[in-house]
Structures are given as structure tokens and as C-alpha cells.
Amino acid sequence: MKWVNHIAIAGAVTAVWRPELVPLAVLGSTAPDWLEWVLQLAGRRVRHRTVTHYVAGWAFGLAFALLVWDWHHALTAFCAGGLSHVIADSLTVQGVPLGWWSDRRFHLFGGRLRTGQMGEYWVAGAFVLACIGFNAATRNFGASEYTPFFWDWPDYYHQGLIDGHEWKENRFRWL
Ligand SMILES: [Zn+2]
């Protein structure tokens, strides 16, 4: 799957969860691919979608971050990003390995997508739309908290953050 789609999926989900963690989740969502370059630079021969794409490896990292140790959710965001990458890759024809114990490929939903074709853009687009929808549906419950995707201009006005002129100029700008 292409990076733009990995980034869109991880970025949108994290923006709903914790906007400040988006950069780390995005870094993690591309990590299975760039870690291959790092390993290669370190002199190891790595075939694409092998060691850095173990589903079990990222799931284990995420469990570790959630249960054992983390620093301001940084490791959680990074590993969740990595896990989202390998799960998204498992939708494709090539699939991903579940873990180090087997060469067999793991496919989700039959692994029908082909990298670079429209399918993966649809998947990523659906994720982003779902996150925007979720955000729109829940934004009123969080009251004054920052919400991604939507700029709540009337609310900023009431909080005295902006003056009337700014509100008038921006009231129809929601994105
Ligand atoms: Zn990959």
C-alpha cells in the first residue's frame, strides 16, 4: 500500500483520538517500510514485507506500550501506526507475515487490493470519512476541547478567542 494511504488512515484515526500524537502515529504508520531501509543501511539484507512487517511484532509492541511501559502515549501511537500499516498491507495481494514462525502470508478480507490501484484509495478515503463523521457526531459532547477537521468559529467567539469581525469572516469556513 502507498504511503499516502497509510498516513491518511493513521493520521485520521489519531486526529480523533489525540491530535498531538498525529506526527508519531504517522511516523509509525510508515515505519515498517523505512525500517527496511534502516536495516539495509546497517548491512542486513531485508526482503520487502518480511521482518519489519510481522503483524505479531507490532501487536506485541502495542500491547507492551499499553500494559507495561510508555512515555506520554508516544510508544502507543508509534506502534498503533505500525500495526495499522501491516493490517492495511494485509488487504493487498502480497499480504504480510503473521510472525517469525511462518512464511505463510496473512490476508484480510481475501487480500484483494493491488498496491497503487484505486482500491486502496477507497479504503483510506472510507477511513478518513468515518473519522470525520465520528468527530462530527461526538464534537458537541467534548464542549470546549479542540476538535480536528472542524473549526468551531461560533464557539471561539463565545469564548472570547476571536472578535466579531473575525467570526463574520470565517463563519462559513469549516475546514
Ligand atoms: Zn509496507
Pair 62, 131 in one domain: yes
Q: Decide: 150 and 139 in contact? Cβ < 8 Å.
A: yes
Residue of 127, 124, 83, 125 whose CA lies nearest to 106? 83
Q: Give the residue, 155 or 6, on which the prediction is more confident.
A: 6
Mean pLDDT lowest for which of 119-128, 132-141, 143-152? Answer: 143-152
Q: Decide: 43 and 59 in contact? Cβ < 8 Å.
A: no
**Mean pLDDT for the chain?**
85
Give the residue numbers spanning the domain of 36. Answer: 3-138
Pair 112, 157 in one domain: no
Residue 50 grid coordinates: 518480511
Pair 58, 132 in one domain: yes
Pair 134, 148 in one domain: no
Pair 70, 150 in one domain: no
Q: Give the residue, 167 or 102, on which the prediction is more confident.
A: 102
Pair 132, 171 in one domain: no
pLDDT band at 117 (very low <50, low <70, confident <90, very high): confident
Pair 84, 162 in one domain: no
Q: How many domains does the chain have?
A: 2
**Long-range contacts (CB closer than 8 Å, 24 or more residues apart) made by 70-79:** 73/18, 73/21, 74/21, 74/24, 77/14, 77/18, 77/21, 77/24, 77/25, 77/28, 78/24, 78/25, 78/27, 78/28, 78/31, 79/28
pLDDT per position as a tens digit, 74-97: 999 999 999 999 999 999 999 999
Pair 169, 107 in one domain: no
Q: Distance, CA 142 to ligand 1 centroid (Å)?
A: 35
> pTM for the complete prediction?
0.77
pLDDT band at 47 (very low <50, low <70, confident <90, very high): confident
Pair 124, 73 in one domain: yes
Q: Distance, CA 148 to ligand 1 centroid (Å)?
A: 27
* pLDDT above 80 for 159: no
Q: Give the residue, 77 or 165, on which the prediction is more confident.
A: 77
Pair 74, 112 in one domain: yes
Q: Distance, CA 87 to ligand 1 centroid (Å)?
A: 9
pLDDT for 58 equals 97
Pair 77, 162 in one domain: no
* pLDDT above 70 for 36: yes
Q: What is the spatial distance between Cα 141 and Cα 83, in angstroms, rounded to a whole number?
A: 29
Pair 68, 89 in one domain: yes
Q: Distance, CA 32 to ligand 1 centroid (Å)?
A: 6
* pLDDT above 70 for 160: no
pLDDT for 168 equals 63
